[in-house]
Structure 1
Amino acid sequence: MEVNPIKILKQLELVELFKGIPLKFIRLVGYADQNMDYKRAKAPIDRDFTQESYMNPSREALGEWIEQGGWLGMIVPDNHILIDIDDKQIGDYMYQQLMKDKASFHAIQTPNGYQFIFKDNRKVTRQTVKTLTEIGIEVDYRLENKGYFVVPTKGTENRRWLYCCNDPLDDMPFMFNPIKDKPKERDMIPIPIIEGSRNQTLFEHACRLLYYGKKADELKQILMYMNKHLLNMPLKAAEIENIFNSALKYHKRDSQEGILQPFEINGDEHTPKPLPITKVKAFPLEIFPTSVKGLFTVASKAISCPIDYIAVPFLSIVGTIIGNTHVAEIKAGYKKKAILWTCSIGSSGYAKSPAKDVALKPLQKIQEQLHEEYEQAIEEYELNSEEGKTSKPVVKRAFTSDATLEAVIELNKDNPRGILFESDELAGWLNGMNQYKGGKGNDRQRWLKLWNGTAVTSDRKSEKLYLPNPLINVTGTAQPDVIKSILNNYISDGLIERILFCYPNSFPPYWSEQEIPPQLEEIYEETLFKLYQIKLTEEPIVVLFIGGAREIYEKWHNETVEESEDAKFTELLKGHWAKLRGYCISFALIIHLLRLADGEKESEKITEMDIQGAIRLANYFKSHFLKLVSFANSDIETQRVMNVLGKIKQEGGTITTRTVYSNGWCGIRSAEDAKQLFELIESYGWGNITVQKNSHGKDSVLITLTDDVLSQIS
């Protein structure tokens, strides 16, 4: 195919683009006769163009009209259709996808969007505006001999032929097929579909398509197209299959398909479906000294976020400040550094990043101090450089957002105390390993070694770097669906098992009048600066456990091993439990040094109180990892139900269909959809449906959750 630009003065040669089909032209008002109204400019002067007797104005008459400021319109030719997208972003996105698919079409760029011309596939029966298509975008249709479009000519204001195809045009692609007129905003799909919303968006749209009568084979074709073209990062084929099957099951509603059958386990139809884990342990803030928990308590109220979103990244931050100055040794030869990789999980907009920034402030000030020290050192170097007795100083960093492994290793070499890698989208770090090397690098393996604190080498700019004693901590945030996708494509190399995830039961960040008193920040920073003032020595200070603390850890260690030997434990859970046994020692080191810096203890050894706090913290992370894995293993249909169960509990455990659809919970738009949801809950054994007369004497459908379910959900 070749682009065939149309010259302004040769508009009537458009016949070449439509393979000899007779074309009809009309005069549009344009900006003739001093008209300046854009909407009126598109109105026809020749209004009888739909009549069979209509005759084209002469070529000369059309040319004169254009010279006077008028516009030229062209009637959509026989067997053709025009799709008009009045959204620049979506129009441009669809144009790029059509070009990638090497489709045969004509395209016009308009002031408000894009117009595409295809052969008519006869799926559009009437000329409409604001129609929802099979892929969830809004378009207008203009049909043969009924609709017209403005031909780009002199003075048509930001309107141009963008692409013209010399080959025969394709039939209108299925993704432009209509499913509903005048859709509501909630029906339309944001394009591109970004990470964090992919699974839920596709599931809800799949249910919508089935609701409007799409068949299973059509649905699968649409989902596959959307996954390939509309997602910024496509899902695996298995996930699309899961979405497809979940949507089919959720929308079995007619007599031919049958009513949803009760969930069965071991042939017993009365056995309830296991409820995904939603309850998690609260963060044990009391294990920290007053200087820390005082700020975190107030800050969580000020930000309107779970305290976890502050306290969990804090572990990586304080571990970085401690750095290579100390190690904990619980028995001869078994030492653990303060290396902690953490990740806070929650929906977008739920204040994860602002919460992390509260904990990060001391490290930001340390970074500023390091920069000041560098500027002073570079001044002295420039004064004495002629003598050649000093090496050029390098700027040290305390933290970075550069996920390139070579960059992080080089920063750690320059600052051997330790480096923090922090990111607001930690999934990018996980998914991006080896990416710029075409997937042929060994970044994952070297990150694993870095977590162990063992020596690594790195080639950077023809220089081989050797890092004998690395300390690189990691913290960041992620959205649930993104981590679910990563877990569903689990690579059993131990990387995921090394991450401490928190997945609290978050709440909307409503406005709070609470402010963070500066004195609380000062007290918090003072404690962390005391840790930073501990000088880095050639060998780290070894912190030992007193006898009672060792015995407490030994008991918990063995209990954790026994838990992981349960037949239900997957390799992923076993791996994480194993890493937590080591993390517990690092937790004890951090708690010990914080309490020491805050003046809450005098002993230079890890005490029973320190290890008890560390065990509470390890058990906290166990519960959150279990919730995360449970979420990752549940299908979309179950997740949709789970989103409603908490709301039902808030309403006292019983709710009507009207409450569900009037509030639009989980995208439910009708009483029929709400009833189907209730039937699904009942089929799982999680609730019971009843019908009662309402105040108007009409039947009202209710669902009441079982006591067992109410006790398990948060």
Structure 2
Amino acid sequence: MRLLGGLSPAPTVRVVTIDALPGGEPMPVGGDLVDWIEAHGDAATPEVLVANLEELVAAAEPVDLTAGRPQPPAAYLPFPVEELPEPVRGFVIAGAKAIGCDPAFLALPMLTAVGAAIGTTRRVELKRGWSAPPILWTAVVGESGTSKTPAFRLVMAPVRELQRRYLEEHAAQEKAYLEDVAFHEKAHAEWKRDKKTTDAPPIKPEPPQATRLVVGDTTVEALAPILLANPRGVLLARDELAGWFGSFDRYSGGKGGSDSAHWLSMHIAETIVVDRKTGVSRTIVVPEAAVWVTGGIQPAVLHRALGAEHRDSGMAARLLLAHPPRIAKRWTEADIDPQAERDLAELVEHLYSLEYDIDDQGVDAPGVLPLTPDAKAIYKRFYNQHAREQAELTGDLAAAWSKLEEYAARLALVVHLIRWAAGDLPEDGSSDNTVDAASMAAGIALVAWFKREARRVYRQLSESDDDRRLRQLAEWIERKGGKVTAREVQQGRRDCPTAADAEAVLEELVAAGWGAWSVSAPTAKGGRPSRIFVLSTASTSTQPHNSRG
């Protein structure tokens, strides 16, 4: 059966059990096909026997030849750019085409950066007592040379430009502050010399606080004063996230410790209390500390970084991951329209201009956007289906599913506010202060894609060396079009120097469920038939799909 299941196309196999004679009498103990034929008597002509056997075959159920066979990992599906509103969608598509990379390389940092622009000024309310901030943690997994860095820099350009302007303003404020300090010191000295004065001492000027949008330092001790001065939150954007993972263990003996706990709080904008060893304020309390995280990481580094302690703590489950397959670079004259870059920069700046609501005590508070009735109905259906899926999962995937439940709402909020900033909401204003069905449907569709990616990436994280070797060979075959002969493998792979080596490794792929053998017919010129290995998931990484099911 295993050999039959490895053929392409797979044959239909039915197993016929003869447990009764033609007259309806039970088959005698130890009976076989001879007894069945003899029971036909004089009617046992070849034509009658064949017809009766065909009836028995037609009544038998086909055998599932794939039952018990290892199944290959799910094929990669391209990022569902159709769920992104304009101008983000057009920028991601154009950027991916210009760089020659998968759209996920731009989409993940883009969504995170836009969420950081919204900051803690807005939350989405799912029901009374349950609201969520637009905080996203994303990581693009890719080997060196897969265009992670160019895509990341392209997305971050408008944020970094805005940050540069803020820092220039701060430099001017710092210069003015130093002049004020000099005047204050002079005035204070004169006040001290005047023994008869009853005036209060001159008020010391307050140092200016820099507006920070982006940070690179990953230690909580360094972040705490920045967050205290920037209540909207900040974006931790690093081309390589290895340093971020390493910071969890830097001051805690390799066990993660309190830094991990603080980061978990920053994922939900909770209060953190940080005790510092130096500085004027040894204890810093940051209410609603919020940090958005985005960047790239190499597969091997991710495997080492997401050790058991970070999986157990739930740190890994909070990451939205994408691992697009490697594709060969090809020169392209494609470029991004400067107007598209300006549109994105205006969008980012517009979102950074969002202000807090004012609560009953006159204090800044996040604006809370409830769901419209249609959006609520969509989310309820998603929630119930998602819960049924989670009940069937264990371990890392169960933990990831527990966070993806709320990520649908967070992504819906980000999508909705992009639409608001772009003037894409209904003109009657009915959706200005709510999250509507269109935004919620997009958030849920994005989570469906992230769920599929989570399964792929977590499977890769648990691979053995042999599993990884076979997966990388399958990805190489897919780049070749999904079909190869043993000779092509021998010629194209250094790890298969002989025809026997190539044949053997392709047999391993068949046994592991990655594909099957197909026999090609001789050409018009004659020759011998050749065996071709056909990848089960060939070409699916480039096929369009319906992200909403």
TM-score class normalised by the smaller sequence: 0.7 to 0.9
Corresponding residue SS for 1:458: strand
Deviations 1:572-617 (A, max 9, x none): 1111111011111111111111101100013221101010011011
1:655 aligned to 2:484? yes
Instruction: Report the alpha carbon displacement of residue 406 of structure 1 after superposing the two structures with TM.
Output: 1.3
Q: Which has the higher contact order (CA 8 A, sep 6+)?
A: 2
1:298 equivalent among 61, 77, 94: 94
Match of 2:203 in 1: 388
* Aligned amino acid, residue 400 of structure 2: H
Report the Cα distance in structure 2 between the residues aligned to 1:617 and 1:275, rounded to whole angstroms. 25
Deviations 1:600-642 (A, max 9, x none): 0132211010100110111111011011012223322233223
* Aligned amino acid, residue 438 of structure 2: M
Match of 2:271 in 1: 455
Match of 2:123 in 1: 327
**8 Å Cα contact 1:458-1:465 kept in structure 2:** yes
Instruction: Report the alpha carbon displacement of residue 521 of structure 1 after superposing the two structures with TM.
Output: 0.3
> Where in structure 2 are the equivalents of 1:263-662 lying within 5 Å?
271=67, 273-385=69-181, 386=184, 387-439=202-254, 441-460=257-276, 461-462=278-279, 463-487=282-306, 489=308, 491-536=311-356, 538-566=364-392, 569-601=393-425, 602=429, 603-604=431-432, 605-649=434-478, 654-662=483-491
* Aligned amino acid, residue 273 of structure 1: R
**8 Å Cα contact 1:457-1:467 kept in structure 2:** yes
Deviations 1:648-688 (A, max 9, x none): 456565432221121126x3222232122123223335323
The change in CA–CA distance for 1:292 and 1:448 in structure 2 (over 3 A counts) is same
**8 Å Cα contact 2:482-2:538 kept in structure 1:** yes
**8 Å Cα contact 1:416-1:470 kept in structure 2:** yes
1:675 aligned to 2:503? yes
* Aligned amino acid, residue 545 of structure 1: L
**8 Å Cα contact 2:482-2:539 kept in structure 1:** no
* Aligned amino acid, residue 465 of structure 1: I
Deviates more, 1:632-641 or 1:548-557: 632-641
**8 Å Cα contact 2:325-2:475 kept in structure 1:** no
The change in CA–CA distance for 1:610 and 1:690 in structure 2 (over 3 A counts) is closer
Query: How many residues are aligned here?
Result: 443
* Aligned amino acid, residue 355 of structure 2: K
Any unmatched runs of 5+ in structure 2? 1-63, 185-201, 358-363, 543-549
Q: What do you get for the CA RMSD once the two structures are aligned?
A: 2.8
Instruction: Report the alpha carbon displacement of residue 283 of structure 1 after superposing the two structures with TM.
Output: 2.1
Report the Cα distance in structure 1 between the residues aligned to 2:486 and 2:232, rounded to whole angstroms. 59
* Aligned amino acid, residue 467 of structure 1: V
Any unmatched runs of 5+ in structure 1? 1-267
* Aligned amino acid, residue 572 of structure 1: D
TM-score, normalisation: structure 1: 0.58
TM-score, normalisation: structure 2: 0.75
Report the Cα distance in structure 1 between the residues aligned to 2:170 and 2:410, rounded to whole angstroms. 31
Match of 1:48 in 2: none
Match of 1:56 in 2: none
Corresponding residue SS for 1:492: helix
* Aligned amino acid, residue 370 of structure 2: L
* Aligned amino acid, residue 577 of structure 1: W
The change in CA–CA distance for 1:377 and 1:270 in structure 2 (over 3 A counts) is closer
**8 Å Cα contact 1:682-1:689 kept in structure 2:** no
Instruction: Report the alpha carbon displacement of residue 368 of structure 1 after superposing the two structures with TM.
Output: 1.1
Corresponding residue SS for 1:434: helix
The change in CA–CA distance for 1:588 and 1:676 in structure 2 (over 3 A counts) is same
The change in CA–CA distance for 1:549 and 1:347 in structure 2 (over 3 A counts) is same
Corresponding residue SS for 2:171: helix
Corresponding residue SS for 1:452: coil
**8 Å Cα contact 2:76-2:541 kept in structure 1:** no
Corresponding residue SS for 1:343: strand
Deviations 1:109-148 (A, max 9, x none): xxxxxxxxxxxxxxxxxxxxxxxxxxxxxxxxxxxxxxxx
Report the Cα distance in structure 2 between the residues aligned to 1:272 and 1:481, rounded to whole angstroms. 30
